[in-house]
Chains A and B, each alone.
Chain A
């Protein structure tokens, strides 16, 4: 058990390094001179030369990469070209907002998604099944940013039930539209996986046995079939975090939500390269760390995997 976890963490490290390497390589292609970006174009040649030496820009690329890793190790992501604020500080400030939004979206996506999946599986072959299947295909095909705008148009402007944008005073109504927008893509995947997993479970012999025993249909479905169908779904929810990070950029842009995504967009619009690279790097690290956690917890939770492992020790 512990050996497995250790192995996974060891394999994780090269990937983490690889992420930093790719980000570092991308940074080499940033147009413009980082020194003039910092001190302005009218600085004296001595100042420019001094800053260049300070930043290590006159040394070899591998030296610069090592310096980059050292800085990352101490949590330094550089400063914004525009505000000159530390990017790490900005990210720490904005991350909780994105986290709140993502959690709300996950909650929405998993509850509605699982319900739809169960409904579709239980009503397999009927028009409800076909309708839900069509809706879920739609859900993964609609651009997130357009969905957000469409929902905003209907619920905020036409019906005026919800505020169109912003985080407001922190009240719950402000999170509804962004969470629904962000969660729809994932919801569709969850519904599809739940449906196929349930269909598979429902065809197993022990379900027929439960029915033959005289258990009510709802008991069969909810108590027996659902619990066992959920394993792949739970894994999916965890692994789908990538879509939340992607979606957050677009959703926060549309709804003016002050999180990582919006921060990235501002960086893009202003060509604030340290900010862009900072978000890309942090996003990848979060993504890959979450995948690792999901992997390990799946290993811990699924008794079949655990038993198999314990058996192999003998």
Chain B
């Protein structure tokens, strides 16, 4: 049955507690941070190019005189938005295909499995590059690319869960009572799949954020001057020797975000995955 996680569970695990706190902080930064920063992330101060961190600019300025901290805060909004939206979209598509593939079996399953295999045959970044390169650069292309890269993994997972769940006696009983497949899937199988889906989602969202960062590092996805953590690093690569802080801070931001999601995901898996117990 579904395990519940209490607050006590969380506070007794220090890394998970820290990770959760950091993620909440990140979420707050992304949501209410932008109006609160002291500088316009696009405003160029040509007298103060490449300034090291100081009282005026807490994290320094970049090659075009823009405040790094403000750009980091605005960038958090993009990274989180793309990561969360792409996760939700690919989860929805993956759950749909996973459920019907696992439940109906036969030709439907064979076709779906082949479809999953084809999408999973592409190395993730290469497929994301292929998709976002042909689309008009921007937020939509990044989200669509990452969604299309991620859905098949979720689909395979949900298919596995569905297959193992559908042999349960209570499912057979429902069928005998005349329940339609849709009802069975929605009322019985899906709720029991949610914990494992949650674990998988939280473990993969970090990968989605890294994928978005890589895309914007390569110049795809969201375009400058909109600040994204990835493009902040690529645009200021030339100053690695003279002004290293410009590329250090965005990288730290990405790393901390992804580490926190991974630690939280590990924690959820330890608590929710029945295979891990005993």
Task: List chain A positions with a Cβ less than 8 A from chain B.
Answer: 14-15, 18-19, 21-23, 26-27, 29-31, 134, 137-138, 140-146, 149-150, 152-153, 157, 242-243, 245-246, 249-250, 253-254, 264-265, 268-269, 271, 273, 276-277, 279-280, 283-284, 287-288
Contact = CB atoms under 8 A, between A and B. Distances in A.
Given A137-B259, A138-B259, A149 B122 contact: no
Contact of A141 (B119, B121, B127, B255): B255
B48 interface: no
Contacts of A22: 118-119, 122
A153 B246 CA distance: 12
A245 B35 CA distance: 40
Most A-side CB within 10 Å, residue of B118, B124, B213, B262: B118
Contact of B124 (A143, A246, A271): A246
B251 A143 contact: yes
Contacts of B181: none
A280 B266 CA distance: 32
B214 interface: yes
Interface in B244-267: 244, 247-248, 250-251, 254-255, 258-259, 262-263, 266
25 contacts: A18-B121, A19-B121, A19-B122, A26-B131, A134-B15, A137-B262, A137-B263, A141-B206, A141-B259, A142-B255, A143-B258, A149-B237, A157-B241, A246-B126, A246-B214, A250-B125, A264-B129, A268-B133, A269-B219, A273-B133, A273-B134, A277-B130, A279-B126, A283-B126, A284-B122
Contacts, number: 140
A140 B258 CA distance: 9
A157 B251 contact: no
A18 B114 CA distance: 9
Contacts of A250: 125, 214, 217-218
Given A15-B121, A143-B214, A152-B240, 15 more contacts: A15-B117, A18-B114, A18-B115, A27-B134, A31-B134, A137-B263, A141-B255, A143-B213, A146-B233, A246-B214, A249-B126, A249-B218, A254-B237, A264-B129, A284-B127
